[in-house]
Amino acid sequence: MTSREKILNQVRQNKPVAIPLPQNITFATVTEPERLPAFVKSFTSAGGVVSIVPDFTTIGQELQVLFDQPERVMNTIPAVGYGLAPTDAIAQGHILANLEVAVVTGSLGVAENGAIWVSVENIPTRVLPFICEHLVLVLPQSKIVGTMHEAYAILPKSFPDYGVFIAGPSRTADIEQSLVIGAHGPKRAHVFILENE
Amino acid sequence: MHNEHIIPTDHATAAEVFLQDEERANWHDKALWFIREKRDVATKQIPDWELLRETASQIKQNVLGNLDNYLEQFEQNALQNGIKVHWAADAAEHNQIVLNIIQQHGIQKLVKSKSMLTEECHLNDYLLENGIDVIDTDLGERVVQLAKEPPSHIVLPCIHKRKEEVGELFHIHLGTEKGASDPAYLTEAARQHLREKFLTSDLAITGVNFAIAETGGFVVCTNEGNADMGAHLAKVHIACMGIEKIIPKAENLGVFLRLLARSATGQPITTYSSHFHRPAKGQEMHLVLVDNGRSVQLGRKDFYNSLKCIRCGACINTCPVYRRSGGHSYHYAISGPIGAILAPNMDMRKNADLPFASTLCGSCTNVCPVKIDIHNQLYKWRQVLGEEGYVPATKKQSMKAMGSLLANPTLYRIAGKSGRTMMRLLPGLANNKAMNPWAKQRDMPAPPKESFRDWYLKNKKQHD
Ligand code: SF4
C-alpha cells in the first residue's frame, strides 16, 4: 500500500462526524464613506505611507521629488510616466538585487486591514515587490472594499498563478519584540490612491 | 538543529532552571502578556469576532469530517496546476522525500522559511547529516539556529533570548560589532547576511498556512517577506504541510486571515499573505502532505479538535505556565497548551508530563480563534495518561483527591476551610518546595480569611 492510500484509509476510518460547511454568513462591513479613512488608518498603522492623488501624472511628479533619478525606478505603469519600464518578462529575479524602487499596480484594497492585492498580472516577475528597497503601489480608490470577505468574493475563482496581499513594508519584531521596519522585503511601502479612477 | 541532550525531560524541572534567571523570566512573562493585550485590542475592533471564531471552528469541523475527500480534491487540483504532490506517512518519509528532491537537483544549500512541521520532523538535523546546508531565513529562526537551539515559540521563535545574546551570536557568526545589541542594527545585519543566501540558493522550503481544496493552491503568511524572497528566487520550491491544513474554499480564507494575525500578534493581517497556485515558468513546485500521527489523533474523539489549530500562538502567549516556564521546558517542537495536547498523541511516555504543565485556568480556550477546548483536552489527557499508566505516582494521588473533592460539594467546602486554616497557620507548608512543586521560585499568595463562598452567604443574608 502506498503512503497515500495508507493515509487516506486511516483518515476515512477515523474521521469524526461531518457537519455542513457554513455558507452565506453575513459579516459586518465597513460602509462606503468609511472605507478610505479606514484603509488609510490600517496601512499607516502598519508602517506604510499613503498619498491621495487626483491622477497618474501627479504620482510621476511626486516620485521625481522622492527619487531624483529615473533610472533608480522600475515603473510597470506607463501612465505614471517616471522611471524605466521593464522591457520583457524577467526570467531571473536575481538581476533586480540592487533595485531601489518598484512601481506596481494594486488591483484591490481592503479597508479593515490595509491589504493590497498584487498578482502576476501586474508584475514582470514574482520577486519584484519583495526585492526592491521601496515599493510604490498604485490603487484606485474605487477598488477599496470593506473586509476580506468582500475581497475574496471579487478575486477570480481561478486564481492567478501567484498573488499576494501586501499590507505595509516588511517587518519583524523577533528581537525582544521591538518592531523594526525592513526585514527581508521593502523598507518603505508607499501607496498612491487615485481619487478619480 | 535540535540538541536533545540539553533539554531536560520533565517540564517542572526545566521550568525550575528557566526561573533561576529571575530577570529574564519576568521579562519573558511581561513580553508575552503584552502581545496578549495587543491581541485583545485587535479583536475588540471587529464587531463580529465571536461569529468569526464560531464560523472558523465549524469550517474546521467540516474539514475534519470530510478530510479524505478534501485531500483528494486538493491533490487533483494541485496536480492540474502543475504542482507535484507527495504523501508522507511519517516524519522519516517526509524527510526522505525532501532529501530526494534536493539530491535530484544536485543541490547543496537551501533556504527555508518558517515551518513548524519541519521542526516537528527534525528536517534540519536530517539534512545536515546528509551534507545539505539549511539556512533558516525567518529572523527569529535564524537566531535560534545560530544558537543551536530549537524555536521556543511557534510564532516568536527566539522570544526566550535577550537582545544582548542575539548581539553576541551575530558578532560571532555575522561579524557585527562586539557588544552591539540594537534591534534595528542587528536586523539590518541579518537582512544583508540572508539576502546573499536568497540570491545564491537554488531551492527554497516553505511551510503552508492554508491549502485550498477547491483551487489546488496554498497560502503562506509572513511579516518579513522571507518565504517569498526564497521561493521566487529559487528554481525549486518545496512546501510542506500537515494534512489538517486543508480548507474547502478560497472564500474561507476571508474568515481565517481575519483571525490569524489578530490572534497571533494583534496585527489586522500579516504583511504578506501569498497565494501560490502554479509554478513560475522554468520553476518546479512540490508540495508534501504529511500525516505523522494526525490521522491517529483524528480518531481520538476527545482530542481531534486539536487538529483545528491554525498555529496562531495565542494560547501560548496567554498561558501563565508557559509565560513563566519558557518554550524549551516543553521538550516538544510545539510548546505551550496546544503543544501539550499534540505531544502525547505522538509519544505518551515521553510527553506524559506536558498535560500537567497547566493550571487549567481556561485562558487558552478563551482566546483560541478556532474554539479548541484546549484546557478540557489537557484535563482529559491527564485521565488517559493515568489509565494507561504513564502518570507519576504523586500526580496520581493528587488527581484522585482532586477528583473526589470536585465530585463532593460538602467535602469541597470543608477542604476549602481547612486549606485556608492550614495555610494561615502553616504558610511554610504550602510553600514547601518538596511537597508543592509550583511553590518553587515563588511565594504562595496570602490566603484569604474568608472564602468567596462564606462572604457571599453572609452578604446574601444581610440583603435578604
Ligand atoms: S490552539 Fe488555538 S490559540 Fe493555540 S495556536 Fe492553535 S489556533 Fe492558536
What is the structure's pLDDT at A140?
97
Inter-chain CB proximity B243 and A167 less than 8 Å: no
pLDDT at A9: 98
Rg (chain B; Cα; Å): 24
Strand ranges (DSSP E) for B117-159? 133-136
Give the domains, in start order, of chain A with CATH numbers. Answer: 28-194 (3.40.50.10420)
The answer to whether position B341 is within a domain reads no
**Which of A11, A173, A183 comes nearest B225 by C-beta?**
A183
What pLDDT does residue B436 have? 47
Q: What is the pLDDT of residues B183-205, one digit of tens each?
A: 999 999 999 999 999 999 999 99
pLDDT at A87: 74
More confident residue, A108 or B412: A108
The pLDDT, as a whole number, for residue B399 is 58
Average pLDDT (B155-161) is 95
Over 80: is that where the pLDDT of B461 sits?
no
Q: With contact defined as beta carbons under 8 Å apart, do B243 and A143 qualify?
A: no
Residue among B47, B139, B229 minimizing CB distance to A130:
B229
DSSP 8-state code for residue B446? P
Q: Answer yes or no: are the C-beta atoms of B238 and B288 closer than 8 Å.
A: yes
pLDDT at residue number B46: 93
Looking at chain B, the whole-number percentage of residues with pLDDT higher than 70 is 82
Q: In what order do the strands lie in the sheet with A134-140?
A: A49-53, A188-194, A134-140, A101-105, A73-75
Mean pLDDT computed over B66-92? 98
Examine the pLDDT at B5 and tell me if it is beyond 50.
no
Range of the domain at B432: 395-463
**A 144-163 near B (Cβ less than 8 A):** 147-149, 151-153, 155, 157-163
Tell me if B267 is assigned to some domain: yes
- Average pLDDT of span B239-252: 98
Domain boundary among B295, B313, B344: B295
Kindly state the average pLDDT of the residues A71-98: 89
**pLDDT number for residue B346:** 92
State chain B's mean pLDDT as an integer. Answer: 88
Residue at grid coordinates 503543544: B339
Instruction: Based on the fold, state whether residues B264 and B408 are members of the same structural domain.
Output: no
Contact call for B229 and A164, based on CB within 8 A: no
Q: What is the pLDDT of residues B88-123, one digit of tens each?
A: 999 999 999 999 999 999 999 999 999 999 999 999
pLDDT digits (tens, 9 = 90+) for B425-440: 444 444 444 444 444 5
- Judge contact between B422 and B415, C-beta under 8 A: no
Domain boundary at B295, B312, B340, which?
Answer: B295
Q: How many structural domains are present in chain B? A: 2
Q: How far is residue A38's CA from residue B94's CA, in Å, rounded to a whole number?
A: 44
Range in B30-44, B207-221, B340-354 the model is least confident about = B340-354
Suggest the residue from A43, A96, A175 to mutate for an interface test with chain B (most B CBs closer than 10 A). A175
- The strand pair at A134-140 and B272-276 is best described as unpaired
Task: Please indicate if any CB of chain B lies within 8 Å of the CB of A182.
Answer: yes
pLDDT at A174 over 70: yes
Tell if the CB–CB gap between A15 and B296 is shorter than 8 Å: no
- Sign of the alpha-carbon torsion through B204, B210, B216, B222: negative
Cα gap B383→B381, rounded to integer Å: 5
Interface of A with B in 96-125 (CB under 8 A): 97, 110, 112-115, 125
Scored b (16 or more CB within 10 A) or e, B46-85 reads: bebbebbbbbbbbbbbbbbbbbbbbbebbbebbeebebeb
Contact A164 B273 (CB under 8 A): yes
Angle at the Cα of B224 (from A82 to B159), degrees rounded to 5?
155
In a domain, B337, yes or no: no
Among B279, B295, B311, the domain-final residue is B295
Confidence band of B390 (pLDDT split at 50, 70, 90): confident
Report the CATH number at residue B134.
3.40.50.10420
Q: Is the pLDDT of residue A65 over 80?
A: yes
The answer to whether the beta carbons of residues B460 and B443 sit under 8 Å apart is no
- For A16, the closest chain B residue by CA position comes to B65
Same domain, B134 and B247: yes
Q: Give B407's pLDDT tier (boundaries 50, 70, 90).
A: low
d(CA B251, CA A155): 9
pLDDT band at B456 (very low <50, low <70, confident <90, very high): low
Cβ atoms B19, B324 nearer than 8 A: yes
Confidence of residue B175 (pLDDT cuts 50, 70, 90): very high
Above pLDDT 90, what percent of chain A? 90
Q: What is the pLDDT of residue A92?
A: 84
**What's residue A91's pLDDT?**
77
Same domain, B426 and B286: no
Same domain, B68 and B203: yes
Mean residue pLDDT of chain A comes to 95
Checking if the pLDDT of B395 tops 70, the result is: no
User: Which region holds residue B331: left if phi is over 0, alpha if psi is between -120 and 50, else beta?
Assistant: left
**In the predicted structure, residue A47 carries a pLDDT above the cut 60:** yes
User: What's this model's pTM, rounded to 2 decimal places?
Assistant: 0.90
pLDDT at position B446 over 60: no
Say if residue B265 is in the same domain as residue B403.
Answer: no
- pLDDT band for A20, please (50, 70, 90 cuts): very high
Q: Are both B291 and B407 inside the same structural domain?
A: no
Contacts of B175 (CB under 8 A, 6+ apart): none
> What does the pLDDT average to over B236-261?
98
Grid cell listed for B123: 528536517
Asked if residue B357 is part of any domain, the answer here is no
Rounded to whole angstroms, the Cα distance separating B134 from B1 reads: 10
Q: How far is CA A54 from CA A109, A134, A194, B242, B318, in A?
A: 17, 22, 6, 48, 46
Which one of B48, B184, B187 has the shortest CB-CB distance to A28? B48
Mean pLDDT of A153-157: 94
**CB-CB neighbors (< 8 A) of A175 in chain B:** 139-140, 143, 158, 161, 163, 166, 183, 186-187
Report d(CA A71, CA A69) in Å as an integer: 5
pLDDT value, residue B58: 98
Q: Is the pLDDT of residue B7 over 50?
A: no
Q: What is the pLDDT at residue B427?
A: 46
Residues forming beta bridges with residue A145, ordered by sequence position: A110
**What pLDDT is recorded for position B177?**
96
Chain position carrying cell 539576502:
B195
Higher model confidence: residue A87 or residue B53?
Answer: B53
DSSP, collapsed to helix, strand or coil, labels residue B90 as coil
Q: State whether B140 and B267 are in the same domain.
A: yes
Q: How far is CA B147 from CA A69, A110, B2, B11, B142, in A?
A: 43, 40, 10, 21, 9
Contact residues of ligand 1, CB 6 A cut-off: B 263, 309-315, 338, 367-370, 372, 374
pLDDT score of A90: 81
Residue B26 Cα to ligand 1 midpoint, Å, equals 24
Closest CA to B261 of A167, A59, A14: A167
Please indicate, yes or no, if residue B407 is contained in any of the structural domains. yes
Q: Are B256 and B134 contained in the same domain? A: yes
Share of chain B above pLDDT 90, in %: 80
Residue A16 and residue B59: Cβ atoms within 8 Å?
Answer: no
Interval B303-354: pLDDT, tens: 999 999 999 999 999 999 999 999 999 999 999 999 999 999 999 989 999 9
The alpha-carbon gap from B89 to the nearest alpha carbon of chain A, in Å, equals 5
Q: How far is B418 from chain A (nearest CA, A)?
A: 45
Q: How far apart are CA B3 and CA B336, in angstroms?
A: 19
Local confidence band at B207 (pLDDT 50, 70, 90 cut-offs) = very high
Q: At residue B278, does pLDDT exceed 80?
A: yes
Instruction: Tell me the DSSP string of A18-73.
Output: --PPP-S-------HHHHHHHHHHHHHHTT-EEEEESSHHHHHHHHHHHSS-GGGE
Instruction: State how far residue A6 is from chain B, nearest Cα, in angstroms.
Output: 7
Tell me the CB-side half-sphere exposure of residue A143, using CA atoms within 13 A.
19
